Structure 1
Amino acid sequence: MSERYIGLMSGTSLDGVDGVLADFSDGLRVLGHASAPFDPRLKSELLALNQSGPDEIHRAQLAGNALMKVYAGVVHQLLATSGVALADVRAIGAHGQTVRHRPQEFDGPGYTVQLCQPALLAELTGIDVVADFRSRDVAAGGQGAPLAPFFHRALFGRAGETIGVLNIGGISNLSLLRADGSMLGFDCGPGNGLMDAWCQRHLGRPYDAEGAWAAGAVPDQKLLQTLLAEPFFAKAPPKSTGRDLFNEPWLQQRLAKFASLPPQQVQATLAELTARACSDNVMRHEPKLARLIVCGGGALNTHLMRRLQALLPGTQVVSSADAGLPPLQVEAAAFAWLARKAVRREPLDLKSTTGARGARVLGGIWPA
């Protein structure tokens, strides 16, 4: 059986799709990376579907179909650039696009929703598809997120060392891989999501390149404390979050008393919020952490990386590129790895990260 898998990830930042073609025959070897931005109309619709609206079921199904066409395009791009034949790929791990994340709410298990049409993706690519990774964990009493800590341990873990892995996408999440073999993983809070939305609103740009706009102003401490007063930050893990909580209405409500602040100062404060949400959790759970590996789009934000280092003076803060895998490839590679686990029927015990009752095989399989 082939040990080559494709992982596809579109995260809460809504900037597009990243895909990785990985070979697991001897550890992890990335054979190719490809990405595709979202068409503005699709991005707008995916963002709108994070909130209640008219004819949601119809719109969600069509958005899922459109998303699969982008996914399929990335798959074909990976095969074309790597020279790997379609028949040599065992399966695709497709995360889908999260539009609601409400685990352990309402009726006990709650729910999490990732728009994905795996049957359509299997038709478009001719490759088996593994998808719907989070729902089994939620059914088993877990948060459904984060799922990456086991992959982080497989990729970055070192025997006898405690290492932190911080993924900063739209939301930030932290994996603590401890020297004794134990592990802790949870969402910290906002990542790039609020900063991107504010930048789009005031500069007409999808994101603040290298954090340059934020770096040109001083955070407002009163606003920062108002934002940090959100109860989620004080909640003990296991915990996860998303745009259901940290969205533009949440921000606008808290900005009501700060209408006189210049937009650039708000951006600086949002960058500081992300840095504090992450660094405070490191200090709370692993204050003597020697090394923090940062991945996701946030690792490309020079200002944010500097702030993390300043807030964690005793910790070496590095990009995942320095640890062997570029920041924009880590999450996609994680879902290739999770697809392999599902195909091999290997359960993951996520008790220490999601709070699930026990080990479960994550993901359903749609044969080509």
Structure 2
Amino acid sequence: MVGIADPTGAPAQLGELVTLVDGGDMDCGGGLLLLITRAMRRLEPGQLLGVRSAQESVVTDLPVWADLVGHDVVAQLAESGDGPWWFAVGKAADTGQTTVFSQGERTPVGQRLWLYTNFDCNLACHYCCAKSSPRAEARRFDPAVAAEVYAEFAAMGGREVLLTGGEPFMHPDLGRLLDAAVGLERTLLTNAMIFGRGRRRDTLEALDREIVLQVSLDSATSEIHDRQRGAGSWERAVSGIELARSLGFRVRIAATLFDEDPEGVAALHRRLDDVGIAREDRVIRPVAEEGYAETGVHVSIDTLEPEPTLTADGAWWHPVAVTNPHLRIADSPLPLAEVFGVVRDTMAVQDAAARTGREVFRCA
């Protein structure tokens, strides 16, 4: 089974393994590196990690990775001429050095954190990377756990937290999730369709006006937006934007497009100019080939700058990849230090190998 497993059953020629990473069909660029990095952090210097993969490229890539980070591949064998391949990797002694990465205008790891409040949604968008819909399992984030997350994040020097879903206003304790993050910059992503009345209107009006609302609006008129999100959704989103602004919230607009039609983008910008949405409060992003999307930009650990993301049941490399098992960092959101540690260790390998330039897939 893909993941970190008991080493019982590994070939005896590998030696005495402490743990085993079974990568299945994953290669180093497709999630195996995250699994190895996570497992290595739990070993003591000199202890052995077993690695198994059916990908032939690992025969070349794994020794290169080990050399870059100072570990030793002490044994290697194949089950047959075509693999799978097995490795025993000895953990190097900790040098105590910390690598600092220059990321230009990108957000340094440790300053920004994403949190999925829930996965149920009033919409079922064709391109939803999270596979959210009215039928999706809610998987709601516990406000008590969120408070622990924020406290650790702030203590580590964290600055900004972004809450998304699903539709966050379907979480009955959304107010508590946001209140627990006081002292951090807070952005809440919403489709702005369901907070106009009742209990959700009360939640909206009670929110701190320092919270930025990022609303999804895919086009200047209803045609594209409704085709992607459902009939009538554009009109309700526009009404929600007007309501939020009338209540004193700063509103940011995010458009998601399969094809970045220049005229369509220009039309959207003209509309946002007319209603007074500042240029810095606009995000135009492509569809990622994740979740429900069958086409779009292919994303991987090699092409995405990390944006550590927490859900009720784990941690992930980036918010567009929370349905991709290859980009899972941890099986629980805490401890946060472990999540950021795996990300930084993985980046160290990537940056030491080559600076080929990851793409920044901006969600906010």
TM-score normalized by structure 1?
0.27
Flag the structure with larger Rg. Answer: 2
Greater helix percent: which structure? 1
- Give me the TM-score of the superposition, normalised by structure 2: 0.27
Query: Relative contact order, CA 8 A, sep 6+: which one is greater?
Result: 1
